[in-house]
Structure 1
Amino acid sequence: MKILMIDDDQKLCRLVADYLEPMGYKVEVAYTGTQGLEMFRAGAYHAVILDVMLPRMDGFEVLKQLRQESGIPVLMLTARGEETDRIVGLELGADDYLPKTFSSRELLARLRAVTRRYQQTESRANAEQAGQTLRFADLEIEQASRTVRLQGELLNLTPVEYDLLAVLANAAGRVLTRDYLLEAVAGRNYDVFDRSIDVHISSLRRKLGEQPRQPRYIQTVRTAGYMFIA
């Protein structure tokens, strides 16, 4: 499996490569955001490990450009460990987040989780080629093409946001727990990243134009999870 690591910490890049390569990963490294984007566009990678704090072009801007071109799994790193960084990264389309105090084993576990989720998403996409279109008032979910339209306008959803919406819509009227949703869209248990579902749901709601106190499609069920309103 081929990994692109974009990080200006050369020592850390060497340590990560030395640990991952015996595990079957080929790690290629870029030390700036610009170089990382050039390598990404020229190569075929299975995942990206992306630092937030990069010279000239920060990791958030790199992530924005990556998401305009690909749904490739992105694992973000930050030295600051701030919740704001985590939320911003997830809202921009990162698949997971890891503070730079991580252990090598944790990095490997997170990397395996995001790549497994992506592979599962791709498999579901292939299986949904003949899938039905879901229609709810002014919302249309075309499962064959994995596209969503609101009042006829195409929405720009991240892969995780689309998966969440599709899972909820296919179970319209039923309450789905955060545990269930995490397993359904990410193939991992909630204790790996217990607030990621809430962040993705918040971003999804914003793109659906929902008002926090008057949800049109996604309702929060207190202490339980979320329910799609048909």
Structure 2
Amino acid sequence: MTRILLVEDEEKLARFVELELAHEGYEVERVADGRAGVERALGDDFDLVLLDILLPKLSGMEVLRRVRREKNVPIIMLTARDAVMDKVAGLDAGADDYVTKPFAIEELLARVRVALKRHAASSPAASGDPAPRPLAACGVTLDAERHEVTALGEPVELTAREFEVLHSLMEHVGRVLTREQLARDALGYDYVGETNVVDVHIAHLRAKLDDRFGIKLITTVRGVGYVVRES
């Protein structure tokens, strides 16, 4: 049975989410503060963590950072904050998705299913196929199996979300990807027209790759999206 850790201090909301998840067939364990969340997430094997940001004893962001240093379990953030930069901060710190309160339970359940599916598909044991070959363009190499990126032979540190955006672009060299496609395929959530989360990640990638190494990897196609060309 799929096991989910719910870290939420709002008693009524936590109980409601726990019951709905249990109704869907998930095994749910619930804790009400950040310190307990870290202890349980690191002390046991869960398939997914639902993590509130505003928690007593230890913030959800700190819980996320500590868990991410040791485990690759899918983590969905639950928060009342709706600012773009708050979402970017959570995603850059390693969250797999971000749900803003109040939310419809159907949306949360859908995001849980997507996160579990994406994690299962990326697991080395998910397929007996040979490991994919590294992707390369404009002096940049991306090794998905090792989760490594180099530019002109030098290692480049990317956040989990920056890596996913770059991976999507380099998987489709020469093809223009819209913001909607990048948000859906790389970031794992539906694109909202006024949100510039994708643009923020592209800006970070350009600073770490194009600007630092003097290359032209990511091109903007005005009114459409972004593309990585072969040269």
TM-score category (smaller protein): 0.7 to 0.9
Query: In structure 2, how many angstroms separate the alpha carbons of the residues matched to 1:215 and 1:101?
Result: 43
Letter of the 1:145 counterpart: R
Distance verdict in 2 for CA 1:216–1:71, change over 3 Å: farther
TM-score, with length taken from structure 2: 0.82
Give runs of aligned pairs for residues 33-112 of structure 1, distance below 5 A: 33-112=34-113
Q: 5+ unaligned residues in a row in structure 1: which ranges?
A: none
Work out whether residues 113 and 186 of structure 1, in 8 Å CA contact, stay in contact via their aligned partners in 2. Answer: no
Give runs of aligned pairs for residues 41-190 of structure 1, distance below 5 A: 41-122=42-123, 126=127, 129-150=130-151, 151-158=153-160, 160-185=161-186, 189-190=190-191
Query: In structure 1, how many angstroms separate the alpha carbons of the residues matched to 2:100 and 2:143?
Result: 36
Instruction: State the secondary structure of the residue aligned to 2:123.
Output: helix
Query: In structure 1, how many angstroms separate the alpha carbons of the residues matched to 2:46 and 2:200?
Result: 26
Distance verdict in 2 for CA 1:34–1:161, change over 3 Å: same
Letter of the 1:81 counterpart: D
Matched with 1:219 is 219
Instruction: State the secondary structure of the residue aligned to 2:219.
Output: strand
Distance verdict in 2 for CA 1:65–1:57, change over 3 Å: same
My pick for the range that moved more, 140-149 or 187-196, is 187-196
Count of residues in Structure 1 that have an aligned counterpart in Structure 2:
227
**Identical columns (%):** 34
Work out whether residues 86 and 97 of structure 1, in 8 Å CA contact, stay in contact via their aligned partners in 2. Answer: yes
Shift of 1:74: 1.6
Work out whether residues 54 and 60 of structure 2, in 8 Å CA contact, stay in contact via their aligned partners in 1. Answer: yes
Instruction: State the secondary structure of the residue aligned to 1:130.
Output: coil
Distance verdict in 2 for CA 1:117–1:195, change over 3 Å: farther
Distance verdict in 2 for CA 1:132–1:82, change over 3 Å: closer
Instruction: For residues 21-48 of structure 1, give each alpha carbon's deviation from its aligned partner in whole angstroms, at most 9, with x where no partner exists.
Output: 0101111122222211111111111111
Distance verdict in 2 for CA 1:137–1:209, change over 3 Å: closer
Letter of the 2:31 counterpart: A
Shift of 1:128: 7.0
Distance verdict in 2 for CA 1:112–1:195, change over 3 Å: farther
Work out whether residues 91 and 199 of structure 1, in 8 Å CA contact, stay in contact via their aligned partners in 2. Answer: no
Query: In structure 1, how many angstroms separate the alpha carbons of the residues matched to 2:143 and 2:215?
Result: 22
Query: In structure 2, how many angstroms separate the alpha carbons of the residues matched to 1:204 and 1:162?
Result: 9
Query: In structure 2, how many angstroms separate the alpha carbons of the residues matched to 1:134 and 1:70?
Result: 25
Shift of 1:106: 1.9
Instruction: State the secondary structure of the residue aligned to 1:62.
Output: helix
Query: In structure 1, how many angstroms separate the alpha carbons of the residues matched to 2:94 and 2:184?
Result: 18
Instruction: State the secondary structure of the residue aligned to 2:170.
Output: helix
Shift of 1:193: 9.9
Instruction: State the secondary structure of the residue aligned to 1:69.
Output: coil
My pick for the range that moved more, 124-133 or 113-122, is 124-133
Instruction: For residues 195-215 of structure 1, give each alpha carbon's deviation from its aligned partner in whole angstroms, at most 9, with x where no partner exists.
Output: 543344344444x34449x87
Shift of 1:16: 0.8
Shift of 1:81: 3.1
Q: 5+ unaligned residues in a row in structure 2: which ranges?
A: none
Matched with 1:24 is 25
Letter of the 1:130 counterpart: A
Query: In structure 2, how many angstroms separate the alpha carbons of the residues matched to 1:128 and 1:184?
Result: 21
Letter of the 1:106 counterpart: E
